[in-house]
Amino acid sequence: MKLAEILALILLTSSSLGARQNPPQNSTPASADYSGMYSFLQEGEFVQITVEDAGRVTGFVSRYGDSESDRGAFLDQFFKQGKLDGTKLTFTTDTVHGVWYEFTGTIDRGPGKTPADEAYYIVKGTLKEYRTDANKKVTSTSHEVQFKSFPHDM
């Protein structure tokens, strides 16, 4: 055997051994699969979640106003910050008309059979709603929530 053939054989053997030592990991859905629209607090309201590189999350809450000045108007509150770490999801919205939200929870598979079904993914956790009144006093309420994904073909 020539020296080049021996080196090639050594490289081939070592690379195949390395592949055996590092078996492929279980396939999990890519975090980008979580991107989409989800239900929000009331019928007709929704949250748009977009998972970007390195777990960065952008999006917005689209909800009906409930103060005297905006009652019934559709308000969009963009995410000020958002993060997805595995299945742990957090986001905080911008303040619109003295109201903002903070969410901490998880995003996981739901009962839907395919992405074309409602609730293929479920967002579950604690939603804190903050309100600033006319005297600049901030109050907060917490709700345990569950938001269902809308069908992806919408």
pTM for the complete prediction?
A: 0.74
Q: Distance between CA atoms of 126 and 89, rounded to whole angstroms? A: 11
Q: How many helices (H) and strands (E) does the chain have?
A: 1, 8
Scored b (16 or more CB within 10 A) or e, 97-133 reads eebbbbbebebeebebeeeebebbbbbebebeebbee
pLDDT given for residue 18 in this prediction: 46
- Residue 99 near residue 85 (C-beta atoms within 8 A): no
pLDDT given for residue 120 in this prediction: 94
What residues contact 110, with CB distance under 8 A and at least 6 apart? 119, 120, 121, 122, 148, 149
Q: What angle do CA 136, 140, 143 make, to 5 degrees?
A: 155
Question: For the segment 111-134, what is each residue's pLDDT rounded down to a tens digit?
Answer: 999 999 999 999 999 999 999 988
Q: What angle do CA 120, 125, 127 make, to 5 degrees?
A: 120
Question: For the segment 21-77, what is each residue's pLDDT rounded down to a tens digit?
Answer: 443 333 344 444 899 999 999 999 999 999 998 899 999 999 998 777 677 778 999
Question: For the segment 78-91, what is each residue's pLDDT rounded down to a tens digit?
Answer: 999 999 999 999 99
Q: What angle do CA 64, 90, 74 make, to 5 degrees?
A: 10
pLDDT given for residue 9 in this prediction: 47
Of 137, 105, 134, give the one whose Cα is nearest residue 121.
105
Structure tokens belonging to residue 118: 């409602």
Which class would CATH give 31-148? mainly beta
Q: What angle do CA 141, 78, 97 make, to 5 degrees?
A: 55
